[in-house]
Amino acid sequence: MQCFDRRMAAYLIDMAPSHNVTSSSLLSLPNELLLLIRDNFERWDLLAHACYYQVHSRTEACYARVDGMEFWRHLIYHNGLRVGHPVEGPIEVVWREAALEYAHHAWTCTHPACRRERLATNRDHMQKALSVWHRDHGDGIFVIDSTISIPLPDVESNDIFHYINFNRSFPRHDLDEETRRTLVGKCAFLRASPSVDDGWRTADLLEHHPIAQDSFASLPPINFLRITHDLFDEGAADCEFTHAEGVTVHDALTSLATLLDRRLTQDQVSDLVDREDPWGYVLQGNPSSFPSSWSEQDVMIGVRCVGHWFQLFRWTGFLFDCFDQKGIAAFISCEGKSLPAKVQTHVERYAYPRTD
């Protein structure tokens, strides 16, 4: 905690209007100047406000004059987040404590797909998206109703999906939503880099990273995500998730969990092997094919269920480029990657739990 406090102080010194201000001299200033310092922070800089709030009871008091519930709630929203876990207590305390928890994780997390950089990336993308979609949104909460007809090209998938893949511990598709929500956090993982293909070995479970999993799945946020797919079965049921305050990454994965463990038949695998470009219709960039050294039996080992399909590519998120009577449809988007010559090498990359 002492290290955390030192980093907070350094951040505040850097953010202060004058770099001659030190953490100790802050408290020698009159209340009017403490308020002025607060007002000079970037409006939606969650880290600056959370750190300043925690410095001392006097800086905490600077936030007594703002609309507590709305300020902290909007601060979280404009950083591209929605609180994903059940919360109890007075609503003002709930939003404030959630913001402080996100700030603490941002400081202590070392994963490049999460930590401080994810907050900054979310915030920048949110402001750009909102400037296009809702120029008069002000300080409020704006979520697109994706069940009505709207211009589609400006809805973009959060680039956090570039870092996500799955180990082989898929939750059962027939579980209730709350159980799937918990278990998918033990199945989805964050890679160290979008270009790293070492599977689960150099990654960390998504459930350890609240900023990553509570980020909005799209920018700007939408209230209804419908993942349309016919990966192996034409007319397969869509994966859907609805939330009035915006669908998050965790929501999207919870919805996908109804699909991941579904087994493939021999006929479906044979069809994949016979195709020159098995999944080119969903790939961006260079499409992939199975290595020539993989026999049909190897393919059966490497792709036993739909979830294994994601391990053959780099997932890049969703394409929002279709609309029908139900609203926006999101298609799974992937990039091709090289697969090892031996299927067992590929399978071991995604083994769970890790043995190293």
Distance from C-alpha of 75 to C-alpha of 79, rounded to nearest angstrom: 6
pLDDT at 289 over 80: no
Average pLDDT over residues 223-249: 81
The answer to whether residues 210 and 286 belong to one domain is: yes
More confident residue, 78 or 273: 78
Average pLDDT over residues 209-229: 90
The answer to whether residues 181 and 93 belong to one domain is: no
pLDDT at 246 over 50: yes
**Residue 142 placed within a domain:** no
The answer to whether residues 250 and 330 belong to one domain is: yes
Last residue of a domain, one of 108, 143, 166: 108
**Residue 151 placed within a domain:** no
The answer to whether residues 95 and 177 belong to one domain is: no
Percent of the chain with pLDDT over 90: 29
- Give whichever of 4-18, 100-114, 286-300 has the largest mean pLDDT: 100-114
The answer to whether residues 71 and 163 belong to one domain is: no
User: Which positions ≥6 away from 162 have C-beta within 8 Å?
Assistant: 194, 314, 315, 316, 317
Task: Give the helix/strand (H/E) hosting 188.
Answer: strand 188-190
User: Which positions ≥6 away from 310 have C-beta within 8 Å?
Assistant: 165, 166, 260, 334
pLDDT at 336 over 60: yes
Compute the 3-state secondary structure of the chain and give helix, strand, coil in percent, each to the nearest 5: 45, 15, 40
**Residue 236 placed within a domain:** yes
Torsion angles phi and psi, residue 339, rounded to 5: -105, 150
3-state secondary structure of 1: coil
pLDDT at 49: 93
pLDDT at 17 over 80: no
Segments forming the whole domain that contains residue 40: 2-108
pLDDT at 19: 44
pLDDT at 335: 80
Q: What is the pLDDT of residues 119-169, one digit of tens each?
A: 999 999 888 877 776 654 455 677 777 776 555 557 889 999 999 999 989
**Residue 228 placed within a domain:** yes
The answer to whether residues 194 and 322 belong to one domain is: yes
The answer to whether residues 225 and 335 belong to one domain is: yes
**Residue 120 placed within a domain:** no
More confident residue, 215 or 286: 215
**Residue 66 placed within a domain:** yes
The answer to whether residues 84 and 196 belong to one domain is: no
**Residue 195 placed within a domain:** yes
Last residue of a domain, one of 73, 93, 108: 108
The answer to whether residues 171 and 320 belong to one domain is: yes
The answer to whether residues 81 and 180 belong to one domain is: no
pLDDT at 262 over 60: yes
The two tokens of residue 72 are: 């902290």
pLDDT at 272: 66
More confident residue, 39 or 24: 39
Contact in structure between 157 and 317 (CB atoms under 8 Å):
yes
CA atoms within 13 A on the CB side of 26: 29
User: Distance between terminal CA atoms of the chain?
Assistant: 29
pLDDT at 196 over 80: no
**Residue 222 placed within a domain:** yes
Last residue of a domain, one of 52, 85, 108: 108
Q: What is the pLDDT of residues 62-94, one digit of tens each?
A: 988 776 568 898 999 999 999 987 666 677 778
Q: How many domains does the chain have?
A: 2
More confident residue, 229 or 3: 229
pLDDT at 134: 60
